[in-house]
Amino acid sequence: MAAGKPVVMVTLVSSDGQSFQLLEEAALLSAMVRDTIQIGQGRGPAGIPIRNITGQTLSMVVVYCNKHYTAAAAADGDDAADEEKKVANKKQLREWDEQFINLEQDKLYDILVAANNLGIDGLVDLCCWRFADMMKGKSASEIRVKLGIRDDFTSEQRAQIEKDSPWVWSRTT
Amino acid sequence: MSLSPRPRLPSTAMAEDGGERRDWADMPSDALAAVFGMLDVSDLLTGAGLVCRAWRQLAATYSTLWRRVDMSHQADLMENEEAEAMARTAVDRAAGTMEAFWADSFVTDGLLLYLSVRASSLKSLQLSLCFNVSNEGMAEAMKGFPQLEELDITFCSLYGDVCQSIGKACPQLKCFRLNDRWTFQMDYGASDGMDDDTEALGIANNMPELRELQLIGNNITNDGLISILDHCQHLESVDIRQCYNIQMDDALKSKCARIKNLKLPHDSISDFKYRAYIVSSVAYSGSDLELDLFDDLDVVTDDDDADFNDTDDFNETGSDGAMYDDEFDV
């Protein structure tokens, strides 16, 4: 961070009325926040209302933004030629990410939807990675049970799947 | 549960027990597409892609998911027929946009030809341990891949004239790997005639755009390699590990001087993904190679590096070449 640069804070307000203050630069990881500030809103004391996202979820999102903003700012200050350090820092951040997203599925879902609505690409990717990891190697029925998804195929569709996917019957679907 | 229409945006609703219920089936489709993009073909075709209507619809119609299909390391997970049927479905779903197809033992001439007429946009093809692909089948299939830039053939029974056919069919080929096991060829026992530059000349005369060439365990001689270096002017990377017919004399060294990344016959194979197959063939003294190959379908992944440290150390002493010579004193 350049010295003398004014510190601008921004406030995000969750759907249940909790306020979170963070550096504007960290909040700008969200495309939705970017758009709001670009049209000259959101800097006032009322902050930016974040609809559909509860304080519990938003607090996690703020932690993510702060961490990634800090890591990016630190990387800017580093010697650009020091490849080894860059790789090490990147690895460290990835480890932090994986730890951060190691959540039970309901929380993961909430953060995924929040990150998607707020337009935080890195966090969407991270949630998707974790979600994919949960589904790897699982049959359709195992996934349905785990995530509480209803089997909504019609009998015609089931017959079609049987026809199109002969391999399916060596496993449980 | 009723069949009421779902809201377009995902939401959390109150379940009967009063707790919040997340509707995973209603995930934003771009997020779901990103999740699906991180899954294997077999996961999409047997698991996630068959969970519910919405998910099946996405897996079946979003062709980007099938642009890069990696079906390597599937052999120990399913029957060959199953794997082939899945591969064909993947080709269908890519709807002509497939750019990469990587697979192992289950590939047949029939599957390659299926791919050939439906995936003319293919840029990368990797085949490992595919003993059911013939030279003729390969040559015919390659005609369908005019845009191919990367071709990796590792431990298949493809050799000889096939290099010429490949080169002619794929004028844009930039990366070519044809890896074999030195011991595998020794098994045929003919000490004369083991020098063989058919493949080298096929490469030299038909692959002018090559940047990267890997020929592990090939019977290539100095003459063959010089021909390649003379004809393939763009070559930057050459890997001739375990090509024990090559003698790195002064003439060859000076020819190779321009190659940025050069790996020599006795260099360590510790970074070669399929090194486990080579190591095991030594342990079995080259006997009963068929059995050996199928017993050992544990492909070495990058994560397993630590397991092979002993072997690496051994190779780095430079004694591996000598060992081969002793084992096969022909």
Q: pLDDT grade, residue B75 (50/70/90)?
A: low
Rounded to two decimals, the ipTM of the complex is 0.81
Residue B66 predicted with pLDDT over 50: yes
Write down the pLDDT at residue A46: 83
Write down the pLDDT at residue B231: 97
% residues pLDDT > 70 (chain B) = 74
% residues pLDDT > 90 (chain A) = 68
Residue B88 predicted with pLDDT over 90: yes
Q: What are phi and psi of B42, to 5 degrees?
A: -65, -35
% residues pLDDT > 90 (chain B) = 59
Q: pLDDT grade, residue A4 (50/70/90)?
A: low
Report the pLDDT averaged over residues A9-24. Answer: 94
Q: Please list every residue in chain A whose beta carbon sits closer than 8 Å to the beta carbon of residue B47.
A: 135, 137-140, 142-143
Q: Where do the domains of chain A lie?
A: 9-76+85-136, 137-173
Nearest Cβ partner of A106 from B10, B22, B89? B22
CATH class for the region spanning B68-327: alpha beta
Distance CA B63, CA B98 (A): 9
3-state secondary structure B106-134: CCCHHHHHHHHHHCCCCCEEEEECCCCCC
Write down the pLDDT at residue B29: 83
Q: pLDDT grade, residue A171 (50/70/90)?
A: low
Q: Which stretch of B7-21, B142-156, B187-201 has the lowest confidence by average pLDDT?
A: B7-21
Considering only residues 25 to 54 of chain A, which have any Cβ-Cβ distance to chain B shorter than 8 Å?
Answer: 52
CA distance B39 to chain A (A): 6
Q: Please list every residue in chain B whose beta carbon sits closer than 8 Å to the beta carbon of residue A155.
A: none
From residue A4, how far is each of A8, B68, B106, B155 by CA, in Å? 12, 49, 64, 63
Nearest Cβ partner of A116 from B12, B28, B49? B28
Nearest CA in chain B to A144: B51
Nearest CA in chain B to A161: B50
Q: pLDDT grade, residue B143 (50/70/90)?
A: very high
> How does pLDDT run across B192-218, given as a tens digit for each residue?
447 789 999 999 999 999 999 999 999
Q: Where do the domains of chain B lie?
A: 23-61, 68-327
Give the DSSP letter string of B183-201.
Answer: HHHHTT--STT----HHHH
Q: Please list every residue in chain B whose beta carbon sits closer than 8 Å to the beta carbon of residue A143.
A: 47-48, 51
Considering only residues 99 to 138 of chain B, which have any Cβ-Cβ distance to chain A shorter than 8 Å?
Answer: none
Cβ separation A147–B53 shorter than 8 A: no
Residue A61 predicted with pLDDT over 50: yes
Q: Which stretch of A93-102, B41-50, B230-239 has the lowest confidence by average pLDDT?
A: B41-50
Q: pLDDT grade, residue B305 (50/70/90)?
A: very low
Q: pLDDT grade, residue B183 (50/70/90)?
A: low
pTM: 0.76
Write down the pLDDT at residue A10: 93
Distance CA B102, CA A171 (A): 24
Q: Please list every residue in chain B whose beta carbon sits closer than 8 Å to the beta carbon of residue A148.
A: 21-22, 24
Q: What are phi and psi of A151, to 5 degrees?
A: -75, 105
> How does pLDDT run across A112-154, given as a tens digit for each residue?
999 999 999 999 999 999 999 999 989 999 999 999 999 999 9
Nearest CA in chain B to A141: B51
Q: pLDDT grade, residue B20 (50/70/90)?
A: low
Facing residues of A28 across strands? none
Nearest Cβ partner of B31 from A110, A116, A143? A116
Residue B309 predicted with pLDDT over 50: no
Cβ separation B47–A143 shorter than 8 A: yes
Cβ separation B53–A153 shorter than 8 A: yes
Q: Which stretch of A69-78, A103-112, B153-162 has the lowest confidence by average pLDDT?
A: A69-78
Write down the pLDDT at residue B319: 40
Write down the pLDDT at residue B7: 37
Residue A152, chain B, CB below 8 Å: the answer is yes
Write down the pLDDT at residue B185: 46
Q: What are phi and psi of B74, to 5 degrees?
A: -100, -15
Q: Tell me which CATH code domain A9-76+85-136 carries.
A: 3.30.710.10
Nearest Cβ partner of A137 from B34, B43, B50? B43
Q: pLDDT grade, residue A28 (50/70/90)?
A: very high
Which is higher by pLDDT, A151 or B5?
A151
Write down the pLDDT at residue B313: 41
